[in-house]
Amino acid sequence: MRTVASDGHRSHHSIELDRGRLVPSWEGPERADRVRAAVADADLGPIVEPEPLDRELLGRVHDPVYVEFLEGAWDRWVTEGYEAPGAMGIAWPGRRTGRRRPDDLLGQLGYHSFAADCSIVAGTWAAAASSAAVAQTAAQYVADGERTAFALCRPPGHHAMSDQFGGYCYLNNAAVAAQLLVEGGADRVAILDLDHHHGNGTQDIFFARSDVAFCSLHADPRSRFPWFLGHADERGAGAGDGYSRNLPLPPGTGVAAWREALETGLAWLRPLGIDALVVSLGVDTYVDDPISDFGLATSDYPPIGRRLAGADLPTVFVMEGGYATDALGPNVVGVLEGFLQDA
């Protein structure tokens, strides 16, 4: 198994508004460094650098206007004289407000974000573009015939919508991987999101498409982030009607109920004619994760990998969440080793 990773992620560590306090983000550089070290220690295979990001491919996943905004937001923030350490909006479009895009920077920061849990800092664009390139490169290995590859992405991506950032995510890495696989010849790709939090951005991007099926196991959004998407009755629209499946789970879900949901998701995908699988690999389902509340133990992750290998599909693993840094590496490696044992 190749692991694609880049040190470019270290240029980004933002601030977030957490329960009324402005604090350093839970999503920091140590996360990727811990996972990379664990992968190296486990000797899973070569760790390689990503190829340059294909901007045209990115523009088929994200609105090009949003990409241009994201790339230039920090320079505009500095040029306009703002002194705060992170660029963040102060107002967001409400349920009954207009949808026109403002002209000024503060308005656009609100328009292009949906949460105050991440901000834009000097290195955000470079890190996000590097992370998307990691996913693109891993997907290319699989498109070229390799059985699997691991995209060690940071910042994560599954909350990033077509034109909005939030949830520590700026560019949707899993969506980039899926788009490349479709363009590489797959008739239909599945994205299976295993993060504790719903992949609202991934759902948004593919909701009206039938060439990418989306299935997510996650904490019930009636009580957990991202709150406004991820309900069981969201099944797709237009050409994508019937190609989205959400399996919300209650707070405190343990491994038995979680595995049952995984079986339900895999059974739903089976008859759809899937040619390749992208796994949004969040391990914030871990029992001691500081911002999540599921009950999986480190010993539960290798069987997950073995079960995913049983789907018998070319598979790209894309790193998403997981914030218990001491256990992060072992939990990720557990999934990957389990997959390789049965691949």
Residues 162-204 have pLDDT tens digits of: 999 999 999 999 999 999 999 999 999 999 999 999 999 999 9
Of 93-107, 140-154, 248-262, 270-284, where does mean pLDDT reach its minimum? 93-107
Q: What is the largest CA-CA distance in the chain?
A: 56
**DSSP type of residue 194:** -
Q: C-alpha dihedral over 91, 93, 94, 99, to 10 degrees?
A: 150
Q: What are 237's two structure tokens?
A: 């629209």
Q: Which residues contact 232 (CB under 8 A, 6 or more apart)?
A: 246, 247, 248
Q: What are 159's two structure tokens?
A: 């909350």
Asked whether the beta carbons of 140 and 171 are under 8 A apart, the reply is: no
Residues 42-97 have pLDDT tens digits of: 999 999 999 999 999 999 999 999 999 999 999 999 999 998 899 999 999 888 88
Mean of the per-residue pLDDT values of the chain: 97
Alpha helices in the chain (DSSP H): 29-42, 55-59, 64-79, 105-111, 124-143, 173-183, 200-206, 255-269, 301-309, 325-342
Q: What is the mean pLDDT of residues 120-127?
A: 98
Return d(Cα 222, Cα 226) in angstroms, integer.
9
Of 12-21, 133-142, 220-229, 278-287, where does mean pLDDT reach its minimum? 12-21
Angle made by CA atoms 330, 323, 74, in degrees to the nearest 5: 130
Return d(Cα 171, Cα 230) in angstroms, integer.
19
pLDDT of residue 124: 98
pLDDT at residue 206 is higher than 80: yes
Task: Please state, for a pLDDT cut of 90, what percent of the chain lies above it.
Answer: 94
> What's the pLDDT band for 19 if we cut at 50, 70, 90?
confident
pLDDT of residue 10: 96
Q: Where in the sequence numbering do the catalytic residues fall?
A: 159
Task: Please state, for a pLDDT cut of 70, what percent of the chain lies above it.
Answer: 100
Helix/strand/coil for 214: strand
Angle made by CA atoms 157, 191, 171, in degrees to the nearest 5: 20
What residue segments make up the domains of the chain, in order of their start? 2-63+123-342
Thinking of the domain 2-63+123-342, which architecture would CATH place it in? 3-Layer(aba) Sandwich (3.40)
15-18 vs 21-24, strand pairing mode:
antiparallel
pLDDT at residue 343 is higher than 80: no
